[in-house]
Amino acid sequence: MHDDTSWDLESPARADASSADRLRVDGGLLRADGGTTWADLTAFQRDCLEAVARCERDGKRCDEAGIGRELEDRYPNLDHDRLYPTLTVLVGHRLLERRERAEEGRVEYVATSGACALLLDRAERLAETCGLVVVDRAGDSSAREAGDG
């Protein structure tokens, strides 16, 4: 009888794979680690990813309360019973990482490289659709014409 209790755990080689190795293009769709595409996510899941990215960009707390504040204009009746399970699903899709802050007694969420790649891909597709120029301010690279890659 096999005594392997490592169900659903990645092998060490897979866990050490770079984030670039865990992103792939499949039929023109960018897929994150678990094969998740933008279209696979619900609108609320997408909004949660965007909220986490905005919190990180603006240096705000990325705990559940901070994410909720970021979403309150669009979802005025948002509560823990909707937000927490959604964040848990995004962690399961490997789009968010959950980090425990024991000294502060709270949990923070951080966007993974897969989430950032999905958000960037979506922004570039929208810009191309609208005929806009995309500028990468984070990397200080030069402007690109939409559709030029």
Report whether pLDDT(25) > 60. Answer: no
Residues 42-70, mean pLDDT to the nearest whole number: 96
Distance separating alpha carbons of residues 45 and 43, to the nearest angstrom:
5
Tell me the C-alpha distance between 6 and 108, whole Å. Answer: 26
State residue 32 phi and psi, 5-degree precision: -80, -175
Question: Confidence class of residue 7 from pLDDT cuts 50, 70 and 90?
Answer: very low
Tell me how far apart the alpha carbons of residues 26 and 37 are, in angstroms, rounded to a whole number: 10
Q: Give domain 23-114's CATH number out of 3.30.70.1140, 1.10.10.10, 1.20.1740.10, 3.40.50.300.
A: 1.10.10.10
Q: In the chain, which residue ranges form alpha helices assigned H by DSSP?
A: 12-15, 43-58, 64-71, 80-92, 113-130
79: pLDDT strictly greater than 70: yes
Say if residue 110's pLDDT is above 80.
Answer: yes
In this prediction, residue 101 has a pLDDT band, given cuts at 50, 70 and 90, of confident
Residue extents of the structural domains in the chain: 23-114
